[in-house]
Amino acid sequence: QKEVEQDPGPLSVPEGAIVSLNCTYSNSAFQYFMWYRQYSRKGPELLMYTYSSGNKEDGRFTAQVDKSSKYISLFIRDSQPSDSATYLCAMSATSGGSNYKLTFGKGTLLTVNP
């Protein structure tokens, strides 16, 4: 079993739709959870960062973490064509000299159609 599982999609939605992206994980040591957006042939860009369980909202984006289920989600409200990209979840355990190494999911390719 991989440490982080993410459905690669592709996911295609109409403009204005609510998008739900998810990842599951198996390592209970993960405490830091991030979502990155990666446009084609570009490096990842940090969207959301959450520590431990709970919700975090930033504009049209909401990140949820459920540590009891080892499940994290990213919701995008009022999706726009410019949101079309690959979304990667990433996780990290506490330091202890680990340099906060990131473990990524495969990424979900999202297309928002005008």
Partner 1 sequence: GAVVSQHPSRVICKSGTSVKIECRSLDFQATTMFWYRQFPKQSLMLMATSNEGSKATYEQGVEKDKFLINHASLTLSTLTVTSAHPEDSSFYICSARLTGAPRPDTQYFGPGTRLTVL
Residue ranges in contact with partner 1 by CB under 8 A: 4, 6, 8, 32, 34, 36, 41-46, 49, 88, 90, 92, 95, 99-107
Q: Pick the closest to residue 65 from 114, 15, 22 (CA basis).
A: 22
Q: Is the dihedral of CA 87, 46, 73, 88 positive or negative?
A: positive
Minimum distance, C-beta of residue 106 to partner 1, in the bound complex (Å): 5
E strands, the chain, are: 4-6, 11-14, 19-25, 30-38, 45-51, 54-58, 61-66, 71-76, 85-93, 103-104, 108-113
- Nearest residue (CB) to partner 1, 49 versus 75: 49
Which one, 8 or 16, has the nearer CB to partner 1?
Answer: 8
The least CB distance from residue 16 to partner 1, in Å, is 28
For partner 1, the closer CB: 18 or 46: 46
Minimal distance in Å, beta carbon 18 to partner 1?
25
